[in-house]
Copies of this chain bind each other. A is one copy, B any other.
């Protein structure tokens, strides 16, 4: 399996955690989003993924895109350990939490959007910081509320799963953008437990071969 990703991309980070939890090896093809005009914009990469985004997973003549689709595919192909609950109701809650991050937080603060805001709409750094802190802060506070009543070690159970896979990279971004995480004790506790696990630790951006020096 060829995995096209970028060390700092939240969506790539999610997939790396899932690969680690499943003990599935992959052949990394780094796509440097900031080098030159961005390697994601080359004709070869656009041929692979017309969105020009990472990650993309090539496997047996198939190209899969979108991190949540890739993680669910991995979970179906390599069932152990499961990343989603067996019960439909619980599965819907986990997917809802994951999508609250993947649909309503992350897309607003990824590189292409921040670039458009600065280069096309000429926002300054203070406005950009306000934008990022607003969406990440508000979004994570909602996530905190979604799992406030759960007393599990992880977001939705006593083993990590899809929700945790989305949470940890988003908390990493929140830190980078200076979001105040003090208000989110439940999320921080889950994040800390995740980061103590080898699969999460090995997936951290700073541990990737393509990480900036």
Contact = CB atoms under 8 A, between A and B. Distances in A.
Contacts of A52: 142
A89 interface: yes
Given A72-B95, A107-B108, A89 B62 contact: yes
Nearest to A11: B103
B92 A142 contact: no
Contact of A116 (B51, B53, B100, B134): B134
A189 interface: no
Interface in A49-99: 50-53, 62, 64-66, 68-70, 72-73, 76-77, 88-89, 91-93, 95-96, 99
Given A51-B104, A53-B104, A73-B95, 15 more contacts: A51-B100, A62-B89, A64-B93, A65-B96, A65-B100, A66-B99, A66-B103, A68-B103, A69-B95, A73-B91, A77-B88, A103-B106, A107-B107, A108-B108, A121-B130
